[in-house]
Structure 1
Amino acid sequence: MLVNADFDRPALVTPDDHRWTPSPQRGVSRVMLDRVGAEQARATSLVRYDRASDFPSHAHPGGEEILVLEGTFSDETGDYPAGCYLRNPPGSAHRPRSAEGALILVKLRQMAPDDATIVRVNTQDPANWTQGDGRSVCALHRHGDETVDLIEITAGAALLPRHVDGAEIFVLRGGLRWGDRTLPPQSWLRLPGGEYADLRAGDEGLVAYLKTGVIAPIVSTAGERGVPASPADKEYPT
């Protein structure tokens, strides 16, 4: 399956484009933002857990990145309310669930094989934010050329003031001006390398997830061609 799979061109999904489809697990649905692969794919998705829903235990051979947008997401390591950022490295496994229901942004199979850091950041904690260069930043992760942050900027401020090798943006609050459009919350935008002076905060300012660095089409991981030995070894699609 290929969804927004041309990484040399901008890709945009706004809330008007959201098409919720059931996942293989009852009570869990998704919006595919980008996807390269079938059930085991390099994928970026919005995933909604209904109340009292869960997934069987499964592995993530290429890693998993999660930003909790609504509700509370849980697994064996704890309960993570809205605003929590999680990063589970390649080879990790867990059994995700949600008692009250949750909406999460999920990225699968997009980590470098040597990126072994487990990350848990509460972006609601003011202590995790710093101010400088006219913006507030909550640093989430750094590895190689990859930088992941939450960014808050005031109305009209430039989001990308310098050249980037690639960028991925998810609007959390406010709006993002791109040319003559203003992208509302829950809009997702992926950009190839370049300069983007026309990306600015809307009239209400902007809070956004921002990843910069080379946005690669796929990450190859060891054992992808093997058959899972048990349910715990299987990577469930999202």
Structure 2
Amino acid sequence: MEINADFEEPVLRHTSQIDWVASPMAGVERRMLDRIGGEVARATSIVRYAKGSSFAEHTHSGGEEFIVLEGVFQDEHGDYPAGTYIRNPVGTHHIPRSDPGCTIFVKLWQFDPADQEQIAVDLDSIEILPALDRAGVSSATLAAREYEHVALEVWDAHAKVGLSDPCGLEMLILDGSCSHNDEIYGRHDWIRLPAGASETFVAESSGARVWIKRGHLANIVAPAK
């Protein structure tokens, strides 16, 4: 399966317009944003757990990172409420579930195997500092690696934010909204820009809070079959 698998093309998606697709586990559905592979895939998705649903125990052969967007995600390691950002390195495993139900944004099979730091960060309490080189933008680094940089950014109302990276970038709007070429993108919309692309986004009157990941599109590897 290939979805938005041409990483040289920009992708701007209103995720609420994407159909939910059932997973192999009852009560767990996905909105597929990009994907290379079948059930084991290099994938970016929004995943919804119905109340009381669970997923089978599995090992993250390619690593996993996710943001809890709504509800509470749970596994044997703890409960993670909305606003939690989690990185599970290659080789980790768990049994995910959600007693109250939840929605998460998740990326699979996109870790460097040498990156073994496992983290869980509360995005609602992390310190955000003004960016010295960009007016109207504040940010906090979530993960800084040789192969990628992940941050939480807050854009002030009406801030004009230029986005580019020589190795590509993507962002998920967590709250608020912004416009690009006269189209407005809001909560949980997803944008991916290829290597070398340069685009300008303008925060709407509510401002915007975005998760943004840079530099990781240089090496696109699908899982071994």
Q: Name the SS of the counterpart of 1:215 in structure 2.
A: helix
Contact 1:122 1:128 in 2 (8 A): no
What is the CA–CA distance in structure 2 between the aligned matches of 1:50 and 1:214, rounded to whole Å?
Answer: 31
Contact 2:37 2:222 in 1 (8 A): no
- Equivalent residues, number: 222
**1:1-238 paired onto structure 2 within 5 Å:** 1-125=1-125, 127-133=126-132, 134-160=136-162, 163-216=165-218, 218-219=220-221, 224-225=224-225
Q: How far off its partner does 1:202 sit? A: 2.0
Contact 1:160 1:195 in 2 (8 A): no
> Unpaired segments of 5 or more residues in structure 1?
226-238
Contact map agreement 1:109 1:218 (CA 8 A) in 2? no
Aligned to 1:231: none
Amino acid at match of 2:101: G
Q: CA RMSD in A?
A: 1.8
**Alignment partners' CA distance in 1, 2:96 and 2:162:** 34
Stretches (4+) displaced over 6 A: none
Give CA-to-partner distance per residue, 1:14-58, whole Å, 9 cap, x none: 035221011100011110000001111000000001111111110
How has the CA–CA distance of structure 1 residues 195 and 203 changed in structure 2, closer, same or farther, with 3 Å as cutoff?
A: farther
Q: What is the one-letter code of the residue matched to 2:181?
A: G
What letter matches 2:115 in structure 1?
D
Alpha-carbon distance in structure 2 between the residues aligned to 1:143 and 1:42: 19
Quote the Cα distance in structure 1 between the aligned partners of 2:164 and 2:35: 28
Distance between the aligned counterparts of 1:220 and 1:37, measured in 2?
A: 7
Does the 8 A contact of 1:43 with 1:107 survive in 2?
yes
Distance in 2 between residues matched to 1:59 and 1:162, nearest whole Å:
34
How far off is 1:201 after superposition?
Answer: 1.5
Q: Please, what TM-score do these two structures have when normalized by structure 2?
A: 0.92
**TM-score, structure 1 as length reference:** 0.87
| Of 63-72 and 132-141, the range deviating more from structure 2 | 132-141
Distance 2:81 2:116 in 1: 24
Offset at 1:216? 4.5
Question: Matched residues, percent identical?
Answer: 41
How far did residue 180 of structure 1 move? 1.6
